[in-house]
Chain A
């Protein structure tokens, strides 16, 4: 079996922009995800970072099958999900599960924890016979560090961190090999964040899971990820190992993003090579021509408006970077 458990090829999601109430007509499209290629290898954690609205959640929802791609292909364990039959597609879907961002709204307040964690068995009843489910749910609660006796409690009786554990237990119910975490710790306080990150790492070791980990906190992603993809306006602009991205970023956007992260050490104040970007992120309904970052890029030249830079390895970039003028700028080291 191949080492690649999940692959996206030219994945696109456009949301139509319509006008009028009775007679809706399309006046354009939000290009939320606009041609993404990704590979997830067995047992690894792929981090995805990027600013609000760049398409991270839309990508995640397509990867788990909650959203139908406008175009492009999705392969789960080598099978093209659009081409396989219903039964096989269901098996593929089962293998990849989502943990969502907001532990406060993603759980149904009227369901008990037992019902929430056991819900996937209702959707995929073939996985486990009914009489065995309660015991399995309790086992899952135990696995994520919750008290199995709390199976009849409701979400509001749990804290944010505990609710996130409930979400993780539910994602694990069907024994998936791939877990997609969309901002799993963003809503949590740092001390609780650390508990959940430790749990995710423990589960990965014990169950041999592969993770896609979406977050806007770059230091959390650095801690957990083996490889990192940086997104901007619906596209991946740079991808590489954690070391390549953080130590040797070659795309100006990655460099600006890294340099903007405050370092929790007052001794380094003022020593950071901080790149303060001007302007706002352009609308994904109307992205700039050529390189999408050019309206905020301090290195932009004429060619940047005319020709879209490919996400490719270049002479000046050992890992794929979508910039005509990719070159290493060590923004993180400048901090030390």
Chain B
């Protein structure tokens, strides 16, 4: 399904096809609101290889979607502003590009699917028109050819009777089918990176299972990098290679999936894993993390997690913010006491 029309991306300054498809360094985003400055993202670092699935895990409000929006260049601005950091696609810092160049990268190389498919699709156009539009606009295809491609895509995401359904409107599709349509739109131009922001949160488990297996299959076929944003630790355990855990706008722990479940080395990650109901805990109290996440207009000094942390000591309540300590070759934790936490089982 690779595209035939040559997309003029080689004109991008500094493009290096050997560099990683996505690299985010020390990203900072703030919202300037009436109630003050909300530092929604303050230090996000990660990279994504071709064919790799990286999960971004964290509770609501920790900055997952804002990170994704900043990467896509679709931040609500104002009030949102990227105030620092780098977002590199194959070596090119997207934050330094002109909007027209950026838009090309966005449409062709990095695509995104959203939690709520219904609001992401246009209700007044047929599904086929919206899919075809991508080929007409970005590949200069004719109406007839683009229609053929639209049907192919619906087939690809396993929508039954694609030939007929291509003429229907989004509201005529079920939730799971709309999510498939959105995946089809995201994959239309053969992106190297797919960002999926809570793609199955609004769906039932049986439908979630269908969508996740579809995504995994398409990713494998195309050797795409998948950035999976979610709060579901079951889904992460099922599909991710690497995990970045976010808290109050920062990545506080990063590790390969198996290692993080086996030996979390940040108290927040550990707390999250412990609060999942498990079979052997039936009839017992669940171990909840006490308290609430901080307001982003008023993030605690030192470690943002310190008011809720059972390992906290004086050093945690003072600046500077704990740096990302190297725990193992591909692991890091932003906790001064990660050694104790990791050893504590």
| Residues on A facing B (Cβ under 8 Å) | 51-52, 159, 161, 189-195, 197-198, 201, 216, 218-220, 222-224, 242, 256-257, 260-269, 274, 276-278, 280-281
Contacts and interface: CB of A to CB of B under 8 A. Distances in A.
B237 A190 contact: no
A240 to B, nearest CB: 16
B122 interface: no
B292 A264 contact: no
Contacts of A276: 206, 209-210, 213
B5 interface: no
Contact of B276 (A190, A192, A269): A190
B204 A280 contact: no
Contacts of B80: none
B237 A194 contact: no
5 contacts: A219-B234, A256-B206, A257-B205, A263-B237, A280-B177
Given A257-B206, A260-B205, A276-B209, A198 B234 contact: no
Contacts of A201: 285
Contacts of A280: 174, 176-177, 207
Contacts of A278: 210
B11 interface: no
Contacts of B139: none
A190 B274 CA distance: 10
Interface in B19-58: none
Given A216-B205, A218-B205, A193 B232 contact: no
Interface of B: 59-60, 174-177, 204-210, 212-213, 231-238, 240, 257-258, 261, 271-273, 275-279, 281-282, 285-290, 292
B142 to A, nearest CB: 33
B280 to A, nearest CB: 11
B281 A223 contact: yes
Contacts, number: 111
A190 B287 CA distance: 11
Contact of A264 (B271, B276, B285): B276
Contacts of B235: 262
Given A161-B292, A194-B286, A219-B276, A267 B258 contact: yes
Nearest to B209: A260
A263 B238 contact: yes
Contact of B288 (A191, A216, A262, A266): A191
Contacts of B207: 51, 280
A297 to B, nearest CB: 12
A281 B286 CA distance: 34
Nearest to B288: A194
Contacts of A195: 288, 290
A268 B231 CA distance: 19
Contact of A198 (B261, B271, B288): B288
Nearest to A221: B277
A90 B286 CA distance: 36
A194 B287 contact: yes
Contacts of B238: 262-263, 266, 269
A264 B240 CA distance: 11
B261 A222 contact: no
Given A190-B272, A216-B204, A266-B240, 19 more contacts: A190-B233, A191-B272, A192-B292, A193-B275, A194-B275, A195-B288, A197-B277, A201-B285, A219-B234, A223-B281, A224-B277, A260-B206, A262-B212, A262-B237, A263-B237, A264-B237, A266-B258, A280-B177, A280-B207
Contacts of B290: 195
Contact of A266 (B210, B212, B261, B278): B261
Given A219-B276, A277-B210, A191 B233 contact: no
A219 B237 contact: no
A161 B275 CA distance: 14
A280 B287 CA distance: 37
A261 B212 CA distance: 12
Contact of B234 (A51, A197, A264): A264
Contacts of B232: 262
Contacts of A274: 209
